Amino acid sequence: MNLQRAATDIPLQITSENASAERRITPSWTIAHLKTKLEPVTGIPPSAQQLSLKLPDQKDIAIEAEDEESLQVVRFPLQAYAEIYVTDSRPPSSRLHIPSASTVPKYTMPTSEYANRTDSVLAWKKTHQLGRFDPHGADAARARLEKGERETRERG
């Protein structure tokens, strides 16, 4: 990692309708390069991104230019931990609709079925007598507790 370059990077909060993440932005990037870097974060293609910089106690600043291939983002008043909001300019019908994970039905294996499996962590713990399956586990835990109490008494 180039430490000199990392020292000039600015941490920014990137948000969109479906995503939020902190990313380090290099001020020498062009707007076009920034949009390319934001696509994996937001899922919005660069050509459909509208960027706006949100600074505390200021109006939102549009990050745009006629020539986005040459204008560097250093021209905008970037501040550490400010927010860049990415808006998707595509019509709603052409956007990828990703449902919330909470609305997707999940499979839950019954406990009895899991207990009967031979290819599970539970079966491995039973085979190797680990955790609650260790026949000497309670004794070892009691010994550790007594040792800790003894050390505490000795220290006062």
Number of alpha helices (DSSP H) and beta strands (DSSP E) in the chain:
5, 5
Q: How many CA atoms lie within 13 A of 34 on its CB side?
A: 33
Residues 107-125: what's their mean pLDDT?
A: 94
**Angstrom distance (rounded) from CA 84 to CA 51:** 6
Which pLDDT band holds residue 6 (cuts at 50, 70, 90)?
Answer: very low
pLDDT tops 60 at residue 7 = no
Q: What was the pLDDT predicted at 143? A: 87
Would you tell me how many other CB atoms lie within 10 Å of the CB of residue 124?
Answer: 12
Q: How many CA atoms lie within 13 A of 78 on its CB side?
A: 26
pLDDT tops 50 at residue 3 = no
